[in-house]
Structure 1
Amino acid sequence: MNKKHLLAAAGLLVVCVAMIFVAGCVTTPDNTDKTPTVELLYTGAGTMPGLLATGKVDGYMIWQPFVAVGVEGDIGKVVSYSQDLPPEGMWVEHTCCAVGANSEALKNPDVAASLVALTILGNKYINDYPDKAAELTADWLFSKQNMTYGEITVNSVDVLEASIPTIMFSSKVTNTWLDSNEEFINAQRELGLISGKLASTTPAQSKDLLYDFGPYESATQQIASGKLTTPAAVKTPISIGYLPSDHDAPLFVLLKDWQYFRDTYNSYLKPTTDKAGKVSEAELFINGEKIADVKFVEGTGGPQLMTLLAQNAIQYAVAGTPPYISAIDMSDGSVGLKILAPVMQEGSGLVASINSPADDWQLFVKWVKDRSAEGNNVVIADPQLGSIQDVQLKAALKDAGITVVTKK
């Protein structure tokens, strides 16, 4: 990872934040000197395909499956996946989603290890059977029905078959993943978005605050031995939060093809009802023995899941590492949070209009420069100030010598 590039990008974000606080709003300046400029429109992920289809934006930077939606809907083309964006090599295996738990859950490390082990096995399933995983994920998220965004309708299975192979499904804790999280913390510090427990920590101190790798280490040892350790049964149901995204596919395949995990490992999550679509309740079995009843809670966003964890309304969650970092930074209650292991890495991309000449990053840069020279800046939709996608896009644009402004 190249820290100086990321911190430089973060410095650019600080300027944008300062403008917001001083002016109360951000307007798009006239590009009278024809400086190569991209205008960013902050908006929700679900609005992006419709905005692109109607010409209100020229592209968007977002996570999957919305990258694939643009391609399958014939409204966009992939300029670059997130791991390939400049500066060269900076974003390979970059952080994204993780499984974490609160301190109440971690009072039972054996159950935590079992759930992490199943997550690892869920990732193995996706890598071994990507097409089947795409079908099961489409079943969970959309009951295999079409996905509609404004006037854009796409087949959900086709979208997931295009999306799943572009995501790195791995729960392995690596130095690259740890460094990626630390770089993101540094970027958030520069933005002033981290001001609590992580405001001035060393990497070692941040690691102590953020992670509990005990369950992960136990899980990997159990898998290597060929048999999971059977925890003592628990009476209180376990609640697991998740987000409706294919980034959470390891959880979905565990439940939608539970028979495979029963027959292969004799450890599985068995839904209490057999139906299409989402699963809300299941039973956890390890080595054929029932351990716990499990409930699944769909969240509206990572911050909401962090709140539910802090309230002990859920005990585990699959969510982005940035919400975990922010929640741990600001935590002051009796219930603490820890990241246990990654669920996936990478999984985002820059999409441009199907009618644009931006077939790759170099052509995208040329397009931006040509449009700015005409006084008509390229407009890119962006999910959130300070998000992984926001930081990545701004770092790439800065590397290309392109100015960034925020569109009102």
Structure 2
Amino acid sequence: MNSTKVTAIALFAIALLLLSAGCTQPAATPSGTTTTAPVSTTPSLGTVGILYTQGVGPMPGLLATNQVDGYIAWQPVVEAGVESGIGQVASYSKDLPPAGKWSDHPQNVFVVRQDFYDNNPDFVNAFSALNIASDQYITDHPQESAGIVADWLAGKQNFTYGNVSVSSVTAVNNSIPTIRFTTEPSDAWKGSMNDFVQAQIDLGSINGFLKNGSAGDKESLLYNFTPYQNAQAIIATKNVTTPPVIKDPVTVGYLMAVDHSALFVAVKDYQYFNDTYGIELKPQDPTKAKPDVADFIVNGQKVAEVHLVSASAGPALMQLAATNGIQMSYVGAPPAIAAIDQGIPIRITYPIDNLGTGLVVTRGAPVQDWQSFAAWAKQRSDAGQPLVIAVPGKGSIQDVMLRYALQNSGFATTEVKI
């Protein structure tokens, strides 16, 4: 598939997203008992407006020009709002209600089309080993990783959002400690995914294959942990099977977010991973700050050309997965689960990171935590001027967590436009 075709597919997918506006619901319940508290069915404290921006890029500018009262976003946009002086953190996602529920919540996962895995298991296993190694590298070398990520996201120049500009290196440095980079699909992780499923059921967002199926059926639809298990063995032994050559380019989706640093680090420091594990994702043009084509090389042999495609939010990535425009993707857990719920033939293979979302409000607001945010929201609603919070996309993890927290706290939400 050539670059022109990928671009065309991406544009079509994003256009389709804008029409459908719904491909980011969260996870389904694989197994175990959920403990998520039900949302309020009769909100009484007031109303909060939600503005969907289809991506995080406009958010700081909207806050700086007083068009919104806050935004909920992934990193580094949370830290960019703080560093620029336009905002302050009201709450990180781990502290959203119900209390203690989201203390180590899933954020992003790695998904693979099942047909692609069936035809190319050794490739997916080796790529997964690279992800595991890269996540560990970020944990062990956060400052070096911050420089790599800042280069990818902004060429180490300032992040600029309209009239808001901040140091990319500083913002990424401050972002990394708010994220837990992990690839382990532990029982606790699956339990937290269950909580997201129940939250989405309570919000009325999951209505497809995953809503009423048995626990076993849900788990088989959601997950394929075989690549993770095989990749763990590769990391432990540093012995990787060279996959058969794939003739057509393999396309991998991602977001311009610190959450997806595993990809950026793997590409930018390809020599380290080659020297350590015999696996590299080597950019064809290493001078590019954000490479879009790389060679996947195992044991010194090129086995595939990999095209790297970014999107504004998870919905666009999952629409690309639906049309086979991408075969693998780094994506938020809710968009992945929504896609599976709707019958898109992907499987979640392992986590990429936990945490990493934050609610930012205008600087000087009477807010220090969720409780004071709720009090502010009630005050504004009572005065007939409900708060307006920007959200990157309908059904995104940020949308799910904010709406659930608000309804759990007794607030109604309404979609607004500006």
TM-score range, shorter chain: 0.7 to 0.9
Matched, 1:42 2:73: no
Alignment-derived partner of residue 326 in structure 1: 338
Measured after TM superposition, the shift of residue 316 of structure 1 is 1.1
1:142-291 to 2 correspondences below 5 Å: 142-291=154-303
1:6-405 to 2 correspondences below 5 Å: 6-8=37-39, 35=45, 37-44=47-54, 45-106=56-117, 107-331=119-343, 336-372=345-381, 374-405=383-414
**Greater shift after overlay, 365-374 or 295-304?**
365-374
- Unaligned stretches of 5+ in structure 1? 16-32
Alignment-derived partner of residue 18 in structure 1: none
SS in 2 for 1:57: coil
- Unaligned stretches of 5+ in structure 2? 1-31
Distance 1:306 1:401 in 2: 32
Q: In structure 2, do the counterparts of structure 1 residues 337 and 405 end up closer, same or farther at CA, with 3 Å as the change threshold?
A: closer
Letter in 2 for 1:105: F
Q: In structure 2, do the counterparts of structure 1 residues 362 and 324 end up closer, same or farther at CA, with 3 Å as the change threshold?
A: closer
**Greater shift after overlay, 68-77 or 305-314?**
305-314
Alignment-derived partner of residue 28 in structure 2: none
Q: In structure 2, do the counterparts of structure 1 residues 235 and 372 end up closer, same or farther at CA, with 3 Å as the change threshold?
A: closer
Distance 1:103 1:349 in 2: 32
SS in 2 for 1:46: coil
SS in 2 for 1:236: coil
**Structure 1 length normalisation: TM-score?**
0.86
* Residues 137 and 249 in structure 1, CA contact (< 8 A), matched pair in contact too: yes
Alignment-derived partner of residue 29 in structure 2: none
Deviations 1:197-227 (A, max 9, x none): 2231123211101111111111112212233
Measured after TM superposition, the shift of residue 375 of structure 1 is 4.8
Letter in 1 for 2:127: L
Distance 2:37 2:289 in 1: 40
Distance 2:319 2:409 in 1: 39
**Greater shift after overlay, 121-130 or 381-390?**
381-390
Measured after TM superposition, the shift of residue 374 of structure 1 is 4.8
Q: What is the alpha-carbon root mean square deviation over aligned residues?
A: 2.5
Q: In structure 2, do the counterparts of structure 1 residues 316 and 85 end up closer, same or farther at CA, with 3 Å as the change threshold?
A: same
Distance 2:220 2:192 in 1: 16
Measured after TM superposition, the shift of residue 291 of structure 1 is 2.6
SS in 2 for 1:104: helix
Measured after TM superposition, the shift of residue 394 of structure 1 is 3.3
SS in 2 for 1:275: coil
Distance 2:380 2:39 in 1: 25
* Residues 36 and 198 in structure 2, CA contact (< 8 A), matched pair in contact too: no
Q: In structure 2, do the counterparts of structure 1 residues 102 and 267 end up closer, same or farther at CA, with 3 Å as the change threshold?
A: same
Q: In structure 2, do the counterparts of structure 1 residues 56 and 2 end up closer, same or farther at CA, with 3 Å as the change threshold?
A: farther
**Greater shift after overlay, 125-134 or 310-319?**
310-319
Measured after TM superposition, the shift of residue 95 of structure 1 is 2.0
SS in 2 for 1:38: strand
Q: In structure 2, do the counterparts of structure 1 residues 289 and 97 end up closer, same or farther at CA, with 3 Å as the change threshold?
A: same
Deviations 1:21-44 (A, max 9, x none): xxxxxxxxxxxx9x5543333334
Q: In structure 2, do the counterparts of structure 1 residues 371 and 149 end up closer, same or farther at CA, with 3 Å as the change threshold?
A: same
Identity %: 42
Distance 1:307 1:379 in 2: 28
Q: In structure 2, do the counterparts of structure 1 residues 353 and 224 end up closer, same or farther at CA, with 3 Å as the change threshold?
A: same
* Residues 240 and 278 in structure 2, CA contact (< 8 A), matched pair in contact too: no
SS in 2 for 1:86: coil
**Greater shift after overlay, 211-220 or 178-187?**
178-187
* Residues 59 and 390 in structure 2, CA contact (< 8 A), matched pair in contact too: yes
Deviations 1:272-329 (A, max 9, x none): 2221311122222223333322222223432332233233332211112222222222
Letter in 1 for 2:235: I
* Residues 6 and 183 in structure 1, CA contact (< 8 A), matched pair in contact too: no
Alignment-derived partner of residue 26 in structure 1: none
Q: In structure 2, do the counterparts of structure 1 residues 352 and 213 end up closer, same or farther at CA, with 3 Å as the change threshold?
A: same
Distance 2:375 2:168 in 1: 33
